[in-house]
Amino acid sequence: MPLSLPVLAPVKAPTATHCPYCALQCGMNIAVEAPEHGPDETVTITPRQDIPANAGGLCQKGWTAGELLTGGQRLTTPLLHGEPVGWDEALDFITDRIRAVQAEHGPDGVAVFGGGGLTNEKAYLLGKFARTVLRTSQIDYNGRFCMSSAAAASNRAFGMDRGLPFPITDLAGADAVLLAGGNVAETMPPFVRHLAAMRENGGQLIVIDPRATATARQADLHLQPTPGTDLALALGLLHLVITEGHVDEDYVAGRTNGFDAVRTSVAAWWPERVERITGVPVSLMRRAAAALGGARRAAVLTGRGAEQHAKGTDTVTAFINLALALGLPGRPGSGYGCVTGQGNGQGGREHGQKADQLPGYRKIDDPAAREHVAGVWGIDPDDIPGPGRSAYELLDALGTPAGPHALLLFGSNPVVSAPRAGHVTERLGALDLLVVSDLVLSETAAMADVVLPTTQWAEEGGTMTNLEGRVLLRRRALAPPPGVRSDLEIIQALAVRLGAPAEHLPGARPAWTTPEEAARAFPVEPREAFDELRRASAGGIADYAGITYERIAAETGVFWPCPDPGHPGTPRPFLDRFATPDGRARFTPVEHRPPGEDVDEAYPLYLTTGRVLAHYQSGAQTRRIAALNAVVAETFVELHPDLAERLGVEHGRTVRVVSRRGEAEGVARVNPAIRADTVFMPFHWAGANLLTNPELDPVSRMPEFKVCAVRLERVG
């Protein structure tokens, strides 16, 4: 008997766009088919061949990304105290509460929290909205939890932060790649093809990780340090590079400053001392130093494992010092790079949603930067607030007498993703107003006074900047469900309500006086927002002035800086000079120090956290996709067989992990891939971050996600 199939309308041409997940921003095509009778649509995703980052590859997350577009777990109407309401009622309620809070507590009584997955246009207008409408200094974003230490270290050394200051395809031609604290085989699998090509050409892959991850298992050399000791290992590797004659003295003399001080500081980090601290055998350190020192072309890369520490900026600085001593940054086919994590982690930190930043990667306390941006916004430079609190400090201050009493949150889920998450949840609960814009009811949205249903990646346009600094075009492939609005529409609607009448903020002069002016200042069309972003970024470090939607489409992406339409873009910004005042890279001496919280008798084990292949970030999206849950459906605790035997823990049994901040349970996974003094938990579920330590890096304000002291208990 023949099968009865729905009759489909003609399929429109596939839409070329990009994956909604990691910073590789793999190119994909989306084909949408709609039945001739009925509302259901079928979404088919295939990889694009024209985007060098993935060149025809996708990971499991990318292949299944269309499920949420047509699934039944979408938010489609605003919620006020959990009940469906109309948009006008929700927005009027928010407006009234913002006015009341700011009348009592001043402009900083309201805070804004953004996300590294927002488009450039959203990140830009969110920062503008906070500073011109709310007049608040209290804005930061979840990217502070991801790339901030690498960004601070890159700015310190090069005067510029761009994740990979070279095309990712350069890696295939390297003779050696050192990857410190990155598990790209699970976090961004198409990245591995560039490393595989490098190895096929005779190059060596060196991985530093406390676990024998999927990436480490593909490496030619795996260094497995005690959690929290990456900095000591980097110092030891540089010591060996110096003592064994691998320093590129001509490069150091011609293109850098400060090497003598670093040479002196690492003299004390002889290999045997480093072995005692890190647990990495001297023989493996020597092999790694020899591989890097003998390479004509090499790259040093860092990921979250090296960066998410209270000394993350210094750790990345130590790896940059290693790369500089070898003469790698600014040399074709070589360099240092940060394997940026979130989808728009690069662009998200360039255009103003960070507490200390204005568009174009300008510093908010720079008078010239304030004058330029104020000119674009049509306000007085003195009306731009100064720097505010960093992400965790902002969350920690919520609802306190001196902190914000209202929070507008876009594209983040801190109930799951923030360190010391139980405490952050308490602070969110202390607010007078919590507003969350999201496409699903995340754990944070479930706490909100108002939830605003927003469009997702394939239902809207805009630009993203991938880990190479390549600006890419996200195209709309299908219409959102009825009743759903874009974040740009939400920002404009609030700006219109709060921008007129002028007396809404006592003592503050708004940048406009009529709703029509407010609407023009906050366009809902991404292209219009991008054109204003181009003007605001002009002359800044991250200069997008010469980038247009047409150029991105024609060239499959444009590298910033690109200061004018005739400029070709800058795939390798350090070939001739660095972005420092004298054009030379800067060595900076750094010293190892223990983690903020070391093991002791009560908490004898290290906990480290990370990702798994099937899920992304806080899991708010991927945990709603059946095919991904079929791979990993719940949180787990990975531990070594020796530790399991000592504690009487069996594989598959539920165990409890306890830290000084909280406790979490998970299924035991007994695995020799991890050190016997360490346990691992993925952070895609509420659990791991109940345990993590919020101690902050003094420079980047990055919390110490990657190491804290815990104990393990059997359950039942």
Kindly tell me if the per-residue pLDDT of 464 is higher than 80.
yes
Cα angle 572, 472, 610 (rounded to 5 degrees) comes to 85
pLDDT of residue 35: 67
Q: Hunting for tokens 């919520």 — which residue is that? A: 398
pLDDT of residue 38: 52
Contact call for residues 166 and 172 (beta carbons, < 8 A): no
pLDDT of residue 70: 85
Residue among 241, 326, 245 at smallest CA distance from 289: 241
Q: What is the mean pLDDT of the chain?
A: 94
User: How long, in residues, is the chain?
Assistant: 716
Sequence-separated (6 or more) residues with CB below 8 Å from residue 516: none
Rounded Cα–Cα distance for residues 41 and 253 (Å): 62
Kindly tell me if the per-residue pLDDT of 511 is higher than 80.
no
- 35 DSSP assignment: B
Instruction: Tell me the average pLDDT across 328-350.
Output: 93
Cα angle 138, 142, 143 (rounded to 5 degrees) comes to 110
pLDDT tens digits along 195-229: 999 999 999 999 999 999 999 999 999 999 999 99
607 bridge partner residues: 679, 708
pLDDT of residue 500: 60
Rounded Cα–Cα distance for residues 585 and 649 (Å): 51
Percent of the chain with pLDDT over 70: 96
Q: Per-residue b/e over 11-47, b at no fewer than 16 CB within 10 Å? A: eeebbbbbbbbbbbbbbbbbbbebeeeeeebebebeb
Instruction: Tell me the average pLDDT across 101-122.
Output: 97
pLDDT tens digits along 268-326: 999 999 999 999 999 999 999 999 999 999 999 999 999 999 999 999 999 999 999 99
Helix axes 282-293, 271-278, angle to 10 degrees: 120
* φ, ψ dihedrals at 177, nearest 5°: -130, 125
Q: Hunting for tokens 């308490």 — which residue is that? A: 426
- 77 DSSP assignment: S
Rounded Cα–Cα distance for residues 248 and 51 (Å): 34
Domains and CATH numbers, the chain: 15-70 (2.20.25.90), 79-145+349-524 (3.40.50.740), 148-343 (3.40.228.10), 605-714 (2.40.40.20)
The secondary structure element, H or E, covering residue 87 is helix 87-105
Rounded Cα–Cα distance for residues 32 and 9 (Å): 10
Kindly tell me if the per-residue pLDDT of 80 is higher than 70.
yes
pLDDT tens digits along 229-275: 999 999 999 999 999 999 999 999 999 999 999 999 999 999 999 99
Rounded Cα–Cα distance for residues 511 and 383 (Å): 9
pLDDT band, residue 71 (cuts 50/70/90): confident
pLDDT of residue 34: 76
- If DSSP codes are grouped into helix, strand and coil, which group holds residue 665? strand
pLDDT of residue 514: 83
pLDDT band, residue 107 (cuts 50/70/90): very high
| The 3-state secondary structure of 107-163, one letter per residue | HHHEEEEECCCCCHHHHHHHHHHHHHCCCCCCEEEHHHHCCHHHHHHHHHHHCCCCC
pLDDT tens digits along 689-704: 999 999 999 999 999 9
Rounded Cα–Cα distance for residues 590 and 547 (Å): 38
Q: Hunting for tokens 């890419």 — which residue is that? A: 472
pLDDT tens digits along 1-53: 333 334 344 456 899 999 999 999 999 999 998 765 556 778 999 999 999 99
pLDDT of residue 502: 43
Percent of the chain with pLDDT over 90: 92
Token output for 122: 């959203």
Sequence-separated (6 or more) residues with CB below 8 Å from residue 373: 358, 359, 360, 362, 384, 536
